[in-house]
Amino acid sequence: MARFKRGLDIDQGLLLPPSLRDWLPEDHLAWFIKDAVDELDIDKLVDAYRVCGKGELPYHPRMMLRVLIYAYATGTFSSRKIESQLRDSVAFRVLAENQVPGHRSIRRFRANHLEQFSDLFAQVVKMAAEAGLARIGTLAIDGSKLKANASKHKAMSYARMKEEEEQLEREIAAIMRLAQEKDEGEDVEFGPDFRGDELPEELRRREERLERIRAAKARLEKRKAEEAQAADEAKKAQAESEEREPPRERPRARKTPKGEPKPKDQENFTDPDSRIMKTSKGFEQCYNVQIAVDGDSRLIVANVVNNCASDAGQLIPVIEAAMENTGLPANQGSRMPAIARRRTSPCSKLPASTPTSHSGARARMRLNQGAERGDATHAREAPCEEGRERYRQRKHVAEPPFGWLKSILGFRGFSLRGLSKVTAELNLVALALNLRRMKGMTSA
């Protein structure tokens, strides 16, 4: 009769408590994340908890942070799925110290400490720089659209809002007339003391819809007015910095007054901060994500989220975020005024040949104007082979992290709503991806 290895009896109780160190191999990602989180300064996070009081004691924030970062590093974003992993996964149980927080506790922890994730992300970047994993010599910047937690079918254009508002006002007025006629008839039939002032269900639904449309319309009008004011202030500030008179706007006939929404401008009812943007799969409700990646380590050293579909004007904010997170300036100098002040040398995509025609001259002028503004997509350096070769490096520096986020981690869209919350969630997932990348670099 064959002989086999014999395992432990499932029903046999253990005489001594097991060591969690024996549950996972030494080079497991969970141990690396545990050690990294233990080195983070979480005093601000701890200070958010009460010192004393009645009620059940909270879970330790450092333990919750380990679990949340490991969950994002392994592609688990739902609080319910994280709770399930805490019961089924050995790595999750080790990081949670054999505790099982419920999905409500996990969701509250993430929601209550969103503002701390930016600081924790910066700490991880500095940790990588101090360990020599990120030298911050060459930064590659790229952008991508990530889906918002909202449907594009829940958006409405400004022209449609006005049509719906007028239609609902007419319907509500008609229902009110019918209700008034019915009340007068019932007064005759039952007497004036009969109570019939309850709103009909149909009227209540229409009033609620009208209120939502008016609120979205007001948000859209306020946003367009703020954008127009910000544009005027930016032009004035640029003119003052360059010590010249502000450019005079040519009088031209406007289809819509300045600062007012255009008929096709849209507002989303579910996530008003998100916008409809063009992606490889068509038009989707998205946010525009910009990241700065270290050329040697492929670590994300900065990220910026905005709701503008265009990448123009996003270069400077990303560079400033990278320098703030690392505490180190990027290398070399530049002819572009806004970039030169930050001691960086931009390298952007160039046309296939130097333009010579009148249309080419206009293209060359647009490139130079883009350089003055510091636009990532229009910054122009000398059309030499060295510059083209440096730009080619962007393909294998800045683009892979987006591939890792979307394909390996499965992070193709945000689970939170609102620009501030979306920014915090991106910091969390970038932090988790950096730790996973750093684990691979130290193991190699």
| Residues 399 and 303 occupy one common structural domain | yes
Same domain as 160, residue 144: no
* Residue 125 · residue 437 · CB < 8 Å: no
Angle between helices 61-73 and 103-112 (to 10 degrees): 100
Q: Which amino acid is at 145?
A: K
pLDDT band at 339 (very low <50, low <70, confident <90, very high): very low
Specify if 100 maps to a domain. Answer: yes
Share of the chain above pLDDT 90, in %: 32
Q: How far apart are CA 283 and CA 148, in angstroms?
A: 12
Whether residue 76 contacts residue 408, with contact meaning beta carbons closer than 8 Å, is answered with no
In this structure, the answer to whether residues 312 and 185 fall within a common structural domain is no
Residue 409 sits in the same domain as residue 283: yes
- pLDDT recorded at residue 393: 73
User: Are 146 and 195 in the same domain?
Assistant: no
177, 229: one domain: yes
Whether pTM exceeds 0.75: no
Residue 11 is assigned to a structural domain of this protein:
no
Can you tell me the distance from the alpha carbon of 44 to that of 257, in angstroms, rounded to the nearest whole number? 47
The answer to whether position 174 is within a domain reads yes
Which of 212-216, 346-350, 410-414 is least confident? 346-350
143 and 283, same domain (yes or no): yes
Same domain, 407 and 285: yes
**Does the residue 441 lie in any domain?**
no
Cα separation, 273 vs 434, in Å, equals: 27
Q: Across the strands, what pairs with 294?
A: 139
What are the φ and ψ backbone dihedral angles of 315, each rounded to 5 degrees? -65, -50
Q: Within this chain, do residues 409 and 280 fall inside the same structural domain, yes or no?
A: yes
Q: What is the pLDDT of residue 169?
A: 73
Whether 82 is in a domain gets the answer yes
Give the model's confidence band at 186: pLDDT under 50 very low, under 70 low, under 90 confident, else very high: low
For residue 84, what are the β-bridge partners?
A: none
Residues of the domain holding 406: 135-151+271-417
Answer whether residue 117 is part of any domain. Answer: no
Query: Among 181, 220, 221, which residue's Cα sits nearest to residue 200?
Result: 181
The CB density around residue 92, as the number of other CB atoms within 10 Å, is: 22
Task: Assess whether 323 and 194 both reside in one domain.
Answer: no
pLDDT digits (tens, 9 = 90+) for 162-182: 777 777 777 777 777 777 766
Q: Is residue 122 part of a domain?
A: no
How many domains would you assign to the chain?
3
Residue 352: the pLDDT is 39
Give the Cα separation of 232 and 317 in Å (integer): 19
Q: Is 300 contained in some domain?
A: yes
Pairing of strands 139-147, 275-279: unpaired
pLDDT of 224 over the 90 cut: no
Together in a domain, 333 and 376 = yes
Let me know: does 123 contact 323? Beta carbons within 8 Å.
no
- For residues 345 and 297, state if they share a domain: yes
